[in-house]
Structure 1
Amino acid sequence: MPTPQRTASTDVRMRGFTQRSEVGTAWAWIDAHTPPLATEPATLGDAIGRVLGQDVVAPIAVPEFDRAAMDGYALRGGDTTGASDYNALEFPVLGEAWPGRPFEGATPAGSAVRIMTGSPVPPGLDAVVPAEYASEHGGRVTITHAVAPSQHVGRIGEDIARGSTVLAAGRRLRPQDLGLVASLGLAQLQLVRQPRVRLLVTGNEVRPPGEPKGPYEIYDANSLTLRGLLARDGGLLESHQRLGDDPQRIAQALAAPGADVVLVSGGSSVGAEDHAPRLLATLGELAIHGVAMRPSSPAGMGRIGEALVFLLPGNPVSCLCAYDFFAGRAIRRLGGRATDWPYRAATATVARKIVSQVGRVDYVRVKLGEAGVEPLALSGASVLSSTTRADGFVVAPAESEGYGPGAQVTVYLYECP
C-alpha cells in the first residue's frame, strides 16, 4: 500500500484536503516505523504489565530439594502397604523436619519423621502420610492409610527444571509471572523500554481545569484522556506542555530531543491557526495528513528524527478515536505489545441500523440493550459525553455501508481493564 508523499511546502490551511489516506495506509506506515525499543534492566517491582526483552532461563530447579507437600509424617511408602482403619501400622518417630531446618539423622527402614509442609524430606524417606491419618503417642506414630512412594512429596525440579526457559521474550508480565521469577531468586529482568511520550496541547482558547476561563474559552479535556490512554498502553509521560497557538513554541516543543512519540492535541486541521502540520513538514516528515474516517479525518502523522509525531484533532471524540487508531498502536508496538485493540470485544446483534459510507471507516459509539446494539443518536465529534453514555464502539470498515438490523457485529467495550 503506497505511502502518500508530503513535502515541506504542504500547507492546507484554509484550503481543505484534496485527498485523504486510507486507514490501512496509515497503519502500514506506523508498523514500518515502530520496531520494539531496546531492552533495559528493571527490578521485579517495576516489571508488572511490561514486556520481556529476553527469555528467562531458570538458574535453579524448583524445588531444589524433595519437599513435603503436606503436614504429617515422612516415611518409606513401601513400609505402609496394607495400612487401613482395620490394620493400623506403627512406626517410631525419630525427630522432626521444618521448613529451612531439615532432620539430619539416619532414617532406617520402618521409621518415620514428623514433617511440616515445605520441609526437606529426609534422605531415604520417599512419602508423607497426612496428619489426619496418623496419631502420635509416646514417640511412636500409628497410621491408618497407605501411601505410595513419592506421594505428597514435591520432587526436585518438579515445578521448574534448572536450565529450562520459563518465560519467553515478548511476554507481557502478569503478577503470577513475577512470582515465578522471584521463586528463581532473580531480582531483575531485561524488559523492552517503555516509550517516552511528549504531550503538546495547542489552542489559545484552552484552559487547564481548575483555573478561571473566559466566556468563549474551554477547559482542556483531551490532556486527561490522553494521559490515561498512553498509561494504559505502556507509555511514559515525558512532559505535558500547553502551548497556545504560538508557532515558535510549537516548533520548539516538536523538535526538542527526549521523546520517542510526540502527541499534538489540536491544531491538526485546515484552519488558519492549525500550525502543527506545516511545522511537522518543515522540521521533519509529514507522512500522512487527512484520513478517510469519521471522526478524526484531520488526523496526521510523521517523524522528526527518530521521534514519531501524531497530530490529533482537538474535538474530544476525534482525539480519542485518532489516538486509539494510530498513536496508541505506535506506542504499543514500540513497547513490545500487540497491536490489537486494547478493549474487550463482544459479538452482538444490531437492533437499529448503523449507517456508514463506502470509502471511509466509521467509529460508531453504541449502546447495548436487550434488543441488541444501537448507535447513539448524537454522535458529533465534540460530544465527549457520548463516549461516557456509550457501552462501546463498532468499527464500520471502508468497504461497508454500515450494518442493518440482525447483522452480527464486534463491539469494543469501554470498560476498565
Structure 2
Amino acid sequence: MSPRRTALREAHGCVLAANVRATVAVPGFDNSAMDGYAARAAEVAAASEANPVTLPVSGEIMAGPVRPEPLVAGTVARIMTGAPLPVGADTIVQLEWTDGGTETVRINRAPRRGLHIRRAGEDIAPGNLVLAAGTVLGAAQIGLLAAVNVARPAVHPRPRVAVLSTGNELVEAGTPLGPGQIVDSNSHAIAAAAHEAGAVVRRVAGVSDDPEAFAEVFEELLKNTDVIVTTGGISVGDRDVVKQVLSKSSDVRFERIAMQPGKPQGFGVVDGVPVFTLPGNPVSALVSFELFVRPALRRMRGLPPRVTPLATQVPWQDGSAGLDPSSGAVTVVVGETLLSQSGKRTFPRVRLERDAAGELVATSAGG
C-alpha cells in the first residue's frame, strides 16, 4: 500500500514508511529535573547538616514560556521541575535538602556541579535518527514522534479488511438456535485474527447463500476495502455461493491445495482488491489465514511477510507463554510421531505441556 502522511492519532499501529530524524533538540533547553533551587555549586559547596549555608532567594522560576533573569551572584532562585535554568546557575539543590524557604533558604547538603540539570539535546540532538523506516508505531513511538514535533509521519496505512461469512444456516452468537442452525464463529475468529495482524476490520456476517445477494454485498465491499476475506462456500456443493459467483471472474482462481487442513482455497484480485476465499471449517479457516492472509497483510503494512507460528497463541497457567518474542517462534520437543498424509503437508493441532525439566512437549490433540 502506498505510504501517506497521517495524523498521530491515526498512526498508531501503522508502520513507519521513512526514517525520522530530529529537527529539534530534546530537551529543547537546559532545565531543572527537580523542584528546588538553582544555584552556583561553588557557593553552596560547604553546606552540610552541621553547617548549613543560608542564601537569599532572588526569585521563582516556573515551568512555561519564560526567559528567566540571570542568577545574581550570592543568591539562589526557587525553580520548578521542567523550568528553564537561569544563566549563571550550574546545579540544582533539591527541595528535600533545604528548609523550603521563599525569602532565604537554608541548604543542608552540597550538590555537585550539574546535579539535576537536563541539558538541551542530551536525549536527542537535531539530526539524530529517531525512528527507522519499518518501525511499528506503538504508544512509546507515537510519544517520541510528538516529542520531536512530528505531527504527520509518513506511514503505510493499516489495510482495511472486510471479513465475509456466508451460509443460510449461520446465526449470530447469543441467538437461540433453531433446527439446522449453527453459530457463526468463523467471521469472529478471522476478524479477530485480522485485527491482531494490524488491519482495520469490518465484519460482514450471515450473508445469504443466494448468488444475487452475495454478489450485491461483494460489489459494495469492493468500493471501500483493501482486502476481502471470505469463509465457506468454495467447495464442490451446489450451494457454494462464493465459488459460484466469483468463478465467473477470470481474476479469481479456485484450487485444491496439497495441505491438511485447508485443502480448498481461492485467491484473486478483483478491481484491484485482493480476495482470499478460505474454507468454512473453523480450524481450516484459521490455519489458512495464518499461512496465506497474515503474510499478505504484513506485506501491505510494510513488514516482511513472516508467518507467525500458530502455537504462539497458547497461554500458560503460570502466566508465561514460553515464546521467543524476537522471533515469534516457540521451540518444543515432539513427544510422539507426527506424520503428514501422503502427498500433503499437514498442520496438526497439538497440546503443549511442560515436562519435569521445564521443556515444552508437543503431543497430538486429535482430529
The TM-score bracket by the shorter chain reads 0.7 to 0.9
More divergent stretch after superposition (116-125 vs 364-373)? 364-373
Q: Partner of 2:361 in structure 1?
A: 373
Q: Tell me how far apart the structure 1 counterparts of residues 102 and 32 of structure 2 sit (CA, whole Å).
A: 24
Q: 1:217 to 1:162 in 2, by over 3 A?
A: same
Q: Spell out, residue by residue over 1:42-98, the C-alpha distance to the aligned partner (whole angstroms, 9 max, x if none).
A: 332333222223333434322221110112211123434444445543433211111
Q: Tell me how far apart the structure 2 counterparts of residues 128 and 89 of structure 1 sit (CA, whole Å).
A: 14
More divergent stretch after superposition (334-343 vs 227-236)? 334-343
Q: Which has the higher contact order (CA 8 A, sep 6+)?
A: 1
Q: Percent identity?
A: 36
Q: Partner of 1:360 in structure 2?
A: 344
Q: Tell me how far apart the structure 2 counterparts of residues 214 and 341 of structure 1 sit (CA, whole Å).
A: 39
Q: Which runs of 5+ in 1 are unaligned?
A: 1-36, 380-417
Q: 1:366 to 1:65 in 2, by over 3 A?
A: same
Report the AA paired with residue 261 of structure 1: V
Contact 1:291 1:300 in 2 (8 A): no
Q: Spell out, residue by residue over 1:218-238, the C-alpha distance to the aligned partner (whole angstroms, 9 max, x if none).
A: 222111111211122122235
Q: Tell me how far apart the structure 2 counterparts of residues 355 and 87 of structure 1 sit (CA, whole Å).
A: 82
Q: Partner of 1:38 in structure 2?
A: 2
Q: Partner of 2:179 in structure 1?
A: 215
* Matched residue SS, 1:347: coil
* Matched residue SS, 1:283: coil
Q: Partner of 1:312 in structure 2?
A: 278
Post-superposition offset of 1:101:
6.5
Post-superposition offset of 1:121:
0.9
Q: Partner of 2:129 in structure 1?
A: 165
Q: Tell me how far apart the structure 1 counterparts of residues 67 and 57 of structure 2 sit (CA, whole Å).
A: 12
The TM-score, its normalising length taken from structure 2, stands at 0.82
* Matched residue SS, 1:228: helix
The TM-score, its normalising length taken from structure 1, stands at 0.73
Contact 1:99 1:116 in 2 (8 A): yes
Q: Spell out, residue by residue over 1:162-195, the C-alpha distance to the aligned partner (whole angstroms, 9 max, x if none).
A: 3433222321111111222233344443332222
Q: 1:120 to 1:138 in 2, by over 3 A?
A: closer
Q: Partner of 2:197 in structure 1?
A: 233
Q: Tell me how far apart the structure 2 counterparts of residues 363 and 232 of structure 1 sit (CA, whole Å).
A: 21
Contact 1:366 1:376 in 2 (8 A): yes
Q: Tell me how far apart the structure 1 counterparts of residues 79 and 156 of structure 2 sit (CA, whole Å).
A: 44
Moved >6 Å (runs of 4+): none
Q: CA RMSD in A?
A: 2.8
Q: Tell me how far apart the structure 2 counterparts of residues 172 and 225 of structure 1 sit (CA, whole Å).
A: 24
Q: Spell out, residue by residue over 1:273-306, the C-alpha distance to the aligned partner (whole angstroms, 9 max, x if none).
A: 3353464443133456222221111122222232
Q: Spell out, residue by residue over 1:93-147, the C-alpha distance to the aligned partner (whole angstroms, 9 max, x if none).
A: 2111111165733423332111121111111112112222233558333334333
Q: Tell me how far apart the structure 1 counterparts of residues 81 and 303 of structure 2 sit (CA, whole Å).
A: 40
Q: Tell me how far apart the structure 2 counterparts of residues 173 and 136 of structure 1 sit (CA, whole Å).
A: 43
Q: Tell me how far apart the structure 1 counterparts of residues 104 and 205 of structure 2 sit (CA, whole Å).
A: 76
Matched, 1:340 2:306: yes
1:30-179 paired onto structure 2 within 5 Å: 37-85=1-49, 88-100=52-64, 102=66, 104-135=68-99, 139-179=103-143
Q: Which runs of 5+ in 2 are unaligned?
A: 313-327
Q: Tell me how far apart the structure 2 counterparts of residues 129 and 106 of structure 1 sit (CA, whole Å).
A: 17
Matched, 1:299 2:265: yes
Contact 1:201 1:244 in 2 (8 A): no
* Matched residue SS, 1:354: coil
